[in-house]
Structure 1
Amino acid sequence: MLTTKVFIRKNKAGNFLKNIREHYLRDDINCGISNCDHCVPHLNSITPPTNENKSTLYNFNHYLILDTNVILHQMDILEEDVICNVIILNTVLEEVKHRNLPIYRRLNNVMENSSRNFYLFPNNFHIECYVAQDKLEIINDYNDRCIRKACVWYMQHVPKANFILVTDDVANRQLALKDNIHCCSVENYVAQLESAANLQDKLAHHEFQYASKKDDIFPPHLTTVEIHQGIKENKFYQGVYHASRDNFLEGYVTIEESDESLTQIIVQGRAGQNRAVQGDIVAVELFNISEWTVPSDMVLEDEGLVESGVDEVVRKETELKLSKGKKAEDKKPTGRVVGIIRRKWRQYCGILQQDGDATNLHQLFVPAERRVPKIRIQTRQGEYLRSQKIVVSIDLWPQHSRYPEGHFVRALGPIGDQATENEVVLLEHEVPHNQFSEQVLKCLPKIPWIITDADVAERVDLRHLAICSVDPPGCTDIDDALHCRTLSENTFEVGVHIADVSHFIRPGTALDLEAANRATTVYLVNKRIDMVPELLSSFLCSLRGGEERFAFSCIWEMDKDAKILNVRCHKSIIKSRKAMTYEEAQITIDDKTNNGAIAIALRNLNMLAKILKRKRLENGALVLASPEVKIHMDSETMEPLDVEVKQLFETNSMVEEFMLLANISVAEIILEAFPDCAMLRRHPSPPVTNFDPLLKVGQNLGFDIKVDTGKHLAESLDLAVKKNNPYMNTMLRILATRCMMQAVYFPSGILPRSNYFHYGLAVPLYTHFTSPIRRYADIMVHRLLAVTVGSDATYPDLLNKQKSQQLCNNLNYRNRMAQYAGRASVAFNTHLFFRNKVQDEEGYILCIRKNAIQILIPRYGLECALYLQTQKCGDVVLRAFDPVTVRLSLDSSNVQHERFVLKLVHPYIDGFSVQPLSVPSKRKNEIKNKKKINEKRKKQL
């Protein structure tokens, strides 16, 4: 049967257009009930004998039919194995997909588990279940009517079975009862299930009508209609809310689609933040200029404050207002959040607050992420969960409550356990880390894998070249290798050879889709989360020494001044002579008695790299800095032995220069071939306001830092040197790094050519080509390059810039989260190392706040706060970038937010500073750790 739907819409020209859509109805759709007398048994039919719903609310076995809101709000319950024999209506599934894509994906994962007996019934295509929407009927009422119609049909179609409609909509339940449909709320159903106590903890709270009261803590949010109208009339701005890491009473909103003069708006105090949570898309009202303020220079932590501590919050809000008396030129756009456009709530990891009565039904959850407020939950497992890292979701945030309300999702493991902490890091940064599925593993080549004569015929054979790789110690996912040979007295052939991962990952396969979703390999201190299965990442693709591998080669002919005479790219077969560490490569270069082919190649590569780097810097490329540390782990106990700043060699820079050159060369090639869909990487120029902290520090130190161009910034940083403080220039570069924007991937067709520029590298074009084992962007670039050089065929999605843009959005997000996850892992292991240790360390004042100074400790890459009320005492004045000595220890009294505690050792302030520790006891610990590290290195060698 064919039914038609007519849609009339108005186009931009004001004309009315009629669209007619055909909707086919069938009478042969299987109901999915295995013991149905009318339908032929279906492969995915529900088989009640294997699973029974165990709710004592009904004394008979039954099937569940769920409405849309139950799925949207109670997915944590539906993922429990105790919920089974469920019919999902297609009407409901489509609405879930439209309203919440992550929930839709979670539901699909549950439906794919055959043991759960979830069956998708296409009710909107069944001739007896189809319901036409009335002209004036709202979509929610229409969907409810479709659900009730399907319930009645099931009751008539399989009269010997029982069906329960689960809905929290009271009106829908009343209408269902009139049709003699068994129905109940989620809460009532779950309360009568086996293991009900644990399941009830997972029930999500519902929005409710709330009458405003005088003692409300927050102002009401505007309605959706009011928000959109205000944005349309330019009364409000739309943007993303970001909470401060240092001050729980302050945040800012980054404005979308705004001119450069208004990129962010400060919001302060509870009324200003108005229940916005990190990442929410909000509507913000801008105050008059007379009410603008400056960002707070106070460090305010929300430690131990509960509802009874509101007076303390009010006092701290009052302190914030004192900042309004500062200079007018320092004031920034300020406003208040008036409504929430879209919540970006996710599942949060953390612990229950450790004080108070563990047996209480109501508990306070402390998230691992400091920028997220504490969350009130109800649990009957308080005593057990106090010892666990747990996951919690936010459900709502009423006006009268200082904290949002949520529900318990699951426990991860004991607090402090390293496996648990790794899981927390991955979950908090939304890193996909499940085992690769069977569908993905089926895409891998069969073992043993061999190179055939046909493979050789399709590639350039470079196995005769003296190629080697240079990587960090312990690296098994080797993406790149190099060679250099002399062509004449004045010319060299230099090659960068990159693992040909795209040969093994074909477009559209399960392996390709999984790699695209993961986007990047994530490196934790003692664990690696691969983007692709280990068979590829560590074996078949990895350019290991002495083994033949497929590669994509970028080869230049250049003269002794590193001027490029020509460049060519092609697929190849290589055999790396040796996989070296940076240190090994440096020793080889420095050993003048070594005149082997690899040694000569490395020396020439190093010579050319120095020239390339000099040219880059002359063009205005920035040399920035960020403290990177390496943690030495005990191979048996997996406990940290030592923490130190990573040692860099000339060979680090050598490899970097040729990787940069390869990326630049490939960017030029693919853009010429694909001007509308080349995947590139740009680094936007920072707004001038971003440099305010750097300019202020530079001015105080007597340096004229110019930021109008990247070249002027680079030159200013080069000149900002003081002989009596050699680390000062490094600290300036660290501050400059924090002023930068994020570099991002983008398809070339969505932006004008002027926006392709990479600010940090000072190059007009750039991409990522050199790390396809660990970055999906590089795989896409390889595919574009393969089509360009005639080694592969194109496919539709490769040329679709809209899909490329969606892919880039995911790549940018995953890349950023991977960086944060790596830093969080380093921070946790640094904390482990410092437990029960007290050490005096040299540091530098990075910046001065109103009630604290931020101190950088270079040896460990740590940035910690030293709390004090004044920076001047007698003859001692503490200024930015001054060297200090501090006593460093770890305060573990707050289990969730352990923090380093600093005490001033030098300069000495009577009554405030502490006497230095005895040197021998400190050296004793250092020698003991170094001895363990040396023993570990000997074993590795």
Structure 2
Amino acid sequence: SGRALPGSKARHSERKPASPLGVASHPRDLEGTISLHRDGYAFVTPDPALPSGADVFIPPPFVAGAMPGDRVRVRVRPGSRADRLEGQVVNILQRAHTSVVGIFHRDVRGDYVQPLDARLRERIRISSEGQAKPGKPSRHRVIGDQSRAHTSGDLDGMVVDVELTRFATGVAPAQGRILEVLGRRDDFGVDVEIIIRKHYLPHRFSESALAEAAAIPAAIAEAVLLDRRDFRSLPIVTIDGESARDFDDAVLVRPLAGGHFELQVHIADVAHYVQPGSAIDEDARQRGTSVYFPDRAVPMLPLELSTNLCSLRPHEDRLTMSCLMEIDAEGKIVSHELMPGVIRSAARMTYTQVNAILEGDTALRHEFAPLVAGFEAMAALQKVLYAARMRRGSIDFDLPEPEIAFDEFGLMRSIVKSERNIAHRLIEEFMLAAAETVARHLRAAGAGRAGDPGAPNPAEPQAGGVAQPRQAPRQSIVESVYRIHEQPELKKVLDFEQTAAAFGYSLGLGPLPVKQMRVGGRSVSIPQEGKFRISPRHYQRLAEKVAGKPEERILSFLMLRSLKQARYSANNAGHFALATDCYTHFTSPIRRYPDLMVHRILKSLLASEQPPPDLRSRESLEPKCRRCSEQEREADDAERELMDWKKVRFMEQRLGDEFPALILHANRDGFFVELEDQFIEGLVPASALDDDRYYFRSATQEWIGERSRRRYRLGARLTVRVDRIDPVRMQIHFAPVPAP
């Protein structure tokens, strides 16, 4: 069940500005991972991190042939700006990848491949031994079609996967040989194949993993059930989307006396089937997460597990890790139990069905009559839990999500706002409650083992109904994986406050801590992070103020951009957006490796055993958490890039068409708009503002006409025309349509 948690994904790039304080002014060598930008420059993230948390900026001439993800050594020197470090790559220590996907071309100087990754701007020469010989067939694989053979004369314009036999040096070009011919760019399914390879997503399971999966018996042995709680007689159900195939959570809600509720959340016991160190486990670890494309998924686990043995399919016995909670009328979890279980789902429900039942659909209420009372109890509990979460200050950006319909050729047919109904909301609240309960249990049990007299009891009431002052999160000696979301950076908050003020709004923080300093002969505003305090309630209150107003979309979008990305860590730092000091991911072990790690730790704790060796110490857990965070971001980028590709192809058929749009962002290149009700973004370049001479005012992020005084500012609505499509860079350019 692919559900996004509030504040869990901020889909924007964050580059931390370097404070000049504490940075040596003389050159020094650092090691780290490089990330490239399509304009040629790069950033290196030092490892270990600098005290300021800053990345190192690498100007285009000094990238020295490094590729995205490479581990490099850089020589750092004071930058041309007071607020960042600059450097140059002096050595490439480890290559991240050895293949590139691109388009094959032939010219008089020989064959070459132009990478499809806009960050890789240099051609790759195909060496003579890597060229397809005349008449020699090469595989041409097309999704949804049979494999076909093509001779070398057919390769021009084909998308190919190239193994690099010599890397670019900054002086000499890279060389390579063709590994695979994927097809023409517009062939059905080739776009997914390109994205998979461009983002280096593992997409083929090892023979060992497939053999292990096939060898797992389908029947559950009676001995396995001896130490499990039996829930098979209860009316437990799964609630998912219509197209879902992997069901990793099932729920039951029952009213109790005094306005209390019993909430049962049952999660697929993947850890029972996937043993540490197995081939299946190794493949899952390399993936870190499942990746979901509109017409295809790249699963973390073999299908025999993800859609069969682990999936909580209806009317079949399935093993679970179960979380039972008693919740009072104020939304506090007053007690809980965690245990291995076995369930037999009574029904595979969809969000649409449950929503219709709760809205009074007579036919569905009759069809699922034995379950209706349970659904009504779920709706009642959802209101209680949501109200409690809002009282403690949790942020809930109810931003619309696009839902895309495709035709039989894989082309976009339409984009509409996806429906988020009460069924989505109740599952979201139940998963949040279970994940927070597990996180608190692990933290409390560990602190108790340490002999901490102040350690919380696993069954003590949790903060649900009332807001609590933020305290330093307690750490435990039973280490675990936490989902953390740190306080936003002061600079991001300052930028947002400046923009919000133009709309007449504020987060209500009062005077912000900024100190003026002389750096390099200039006066620079230095944020004083140590004196900076902000709570999620500031965001929540502003979100409530703008709800339903014309500026809601732009301000919600900008608030989200001001927040950090959530990530995994062995160091519990709390979750800012959820307004909780302890949170983890527990409810999706079929598709997320961090959840599987949490399950292993929890099962060891419940059995009074040591966790697997690689999960016992914070030192061993933290690199795994960091890698899982990187894999999550890569999967997000891949999913988003494929959607962008689909949108570009959709708009290619609409050149010259006009659409109402909203300005989301502005810079010196122009401004970015989102088509209203279409969820398609594109650039209105400054060159398209040709009815006047315009200049950019950075303080207010607006373009102003010198003669007409016409203004294009954030949040403004206008009509735009589809002016140009760049399918290689996947960019849509618009031009403003003059008002009548």
What TM-score bracket applies, with the shorter chain setting the length? 0.7 to 0.9
**Residue 536 of structure 2 corresponds to residue 711 of structure 1:** yes
Q: Cα 1:337–1:624, aligned 2, differ >3 Å: closer, same or farther?
A: farther
2:377 matches 1:604:
yes
- Give the structure 2 partner of residue 905 of structure 1: 737
Counterpart in 2 of 1:244?
Answer: 37
Is structure 2 residue 504 aligned with structure 1 residue 702? Answer: yes
Residues 830-869 of structure 1: pairs in structure 2 closer than 5 A: 830-838=647-655, 839-869=657-687
* 3-state secondary structure, aligned to 1:482: strand
- What amino acid is aligned across from residue 84 of structure 2 in structure 1? P
Tell whether 2:657 aligns with 1:657: no
The one of 91, 99, 116 equivalent to 1:368 is 116
Q: How many positions carry a matched residue from both structures? A: 619
Aligned: 1:551 with 2:320? yes
Aligned to 1:738: 561
Cα distance, 1:660 vs structure 2? 0.9
Displacement of 1:808 = 2.6
Q: How does 1:103-142 map to 2 (within 5 A)?
A: none
Q: Work out the CA distance in 2 between the residues paired with 1:261 and 1:684.
A: 15
Match of 1:623 among 381, 393, 396: 396
Q: For structure 2, which runs of at least 5 residues remain unmatched after alignment?
A: 1-22, 132-151, 447-476, 510-531, 688-693, 695-702
CA distance 1:508–1:400, change in 2 (3 Å):
closer
C-alpha spacing 1:845/1:348, structure 2 compared with 1 (3 Å): farther
The residue aligned with 1:677 is 479
The residue that corresponds to 1:888 in the other structure is 722
The whole-number CA distance in structure 1 between the counterparts of 2:680 and 2:244 is: 25
* Structure 1 pair 252–512 and aligned structure 2 pair: CA distance change class (3 A): closer
**Structure with the largest fraction of helix:** 1
Give the C-alpha shift of residue 774 in structure 1. Answer: 0.9
Q: What amino acid maps onto 2:309 in structure 1?
A: L
The corresponding residue for 1:195 is none
Instruction: Give the residue type in structure 2 aligned to 1:553.
Output: S
Match of 2:242 in 1: 473
Partner of residue 530 from structure 1, selected from 299, 304, 315:
299
What is the CA-CA distance between 1:609 and the residue it aligns to?
A: 1.9
Name the SS for the 2:179 alignment partner.
Answer: strand
Distance 1:347 1:735 in 2: 38
The alpha carbon displacement at 1:719 in A equals: 5.7
- Distance (Å, rounded) in 2 between the aligned partners of 1:340 and 1:444: 45
Separation in 1 of the partners of 2:665 and 2:277? Answer: 50
SS at match of 1:573: strand
Whether contact under 8 Å (1:265, 1:286) holds in the other structure is no
Tell me which moved more, 373-382 or 843-852. Answer: 373-382
Which deviations, in whole Å up to 9, do the C-alpha atoms of 1:349-381 show, x marking residues without a partner?
443486xx6232264x43222223323424555
Work out whether residues 239 and 284 of structure 1, in 8 Å CA contact, stay in contact via their aligned partners in 2.
no
Mapped partners of 1:640, 1:239: distance in 2: 40
1:425 corresponds to which of 195, 198, 209? 195
Q: Which runs of 5+ in 1 are unaligned?
A: 1-229, 293-330, 909-941
Alignment of 1:786-865 (within 5 A): 786-790=603-607, 794-838=611-655, 839-865=657-683
Give 1:524's aligned amino acid: F
Query: For 1:316-715, what aligned pairs fall within 5 Å after superposition?
Result: 332-337=83-88, 339-340=90-91, 342=93, 344-347=95-98, 349-352=100-103, 358-361=107-110, 363=112, 365-379=113-127, 381=131, 384-392=154-162, 393=164, 395-398=166-169, 400=171, 404-416=173-185, 417-446=187-216, 449-591=218-360, 594=365, 596-624=369-397, 628-634=401-407, 636-674=408-446, 675-705=477-507, 706=509, 708-715=533-540
Offset, 1:766: 1.2
Q: Deviations over 1:385-440 (max 9, x none)?
A: 43211234383444556xx5332343432222233322211112121111441454
List per-residue Cα deviations over 1:49-91 (Å, max 9, x = no partner).
xxxxxxxxxxxxxxxxxxxxxxxxxxxxxxxxxxxxxxxxxxx
Evaluate the alpha carbon distance shift between residue 394 and residue 586 of structure 1 in structure 2; reply closer, same or farther with a 3 A threshold: farther
Does the residue aligned with 1:427 lie in a helix, a strand or coil?
Answer: helix
Query: Is the 2:114–2:124 Cα contact (8 Å) retained in structure 1?
Result: no
Larger radius of gyration: 1
The alignment partner of 1:878 has SS state of strand
- Alignment RMSD: 3.2
Tell me the CA shift for residue 443 of structure 1.
Answer: 4.4
1:930 is matched with which residue? none
Q: Note closer, same or farther for the CA distance 1:483–1:557 as it changes in structure 2 (3 Å cut).
A: same
Taking the aligned partners of 1:781 and 1:826, their CA distance within structure 2 comes to 31
**In the TM superposition, what is the alpha-carbon distance from 1:478 to its structure 2 partner?**
0.5
- What is the identity, as a one-letter code, of the residue corresponding to 1:431? L
**Counterpart amino acid of residue 373 in structure 1:** R
Bigger relative CO (Cα 8 Å, ≥ 6 apart): 2
In structure 2, the CA distance between the partners of 1:625 and 1:736, relative to structure 1 (3 Å rule), is: farther
Which digits, 9 at most, give the CA deviation of each residue in 1:303-330, with x for residues without a partner? xxxxxxxxxxxxxxxxxxxxxxxxxxxx
Q: Distance in 1 between matches of 2:165 and 2:424?
A: 45
Q: 1:264 aligns with which of 52, 55, 59?
A: 55
- For the 8 Å contact 1:834–1:890, the answer to whether it is kept is no
Distance 1:433 1:500 in 2: 23
How far 1:543 moved relative to its partner? 1.4
Deviation at 1:255, TM superposition (A): 4.7
Identity of aligned residues (%): 24
- Cα offsets for 1:33-57 (capped at 9, x unmatched): xxxxxxxxxxxxxxxxxxxxxxxxx
Alpha-carbon contact 1:272-1:335 (below 8 Å) kept: no
In 1, are the aligned partners of 2:103 and 2:116 still within 8 Å (CA)?
Answer: no
TM-score by structure 2 length? Answer: 0.76
Distance 1:252 1:904 in 2: 34
**How many angstroms apart in 2 are the aligned matches of 1:409 and 1:691?**
48
Distance 1:660 1:250, change over 3 A: same
Higher mean displacement: 791-800 or 803-812: 791-800
Deviation, 1:615, is: 2.5
Deviations 1:465-519 (A, max 9, x none): 2211111111110011111112224222111111112222222222222222222
Structure 1 CA distance for aligned equivalents of residues 167 and 189 of structure 2: 31
Residues 376 and 539 (structure 1), Cα distance of their counterparts in 2 relative to 1, 3 Å cut = closer
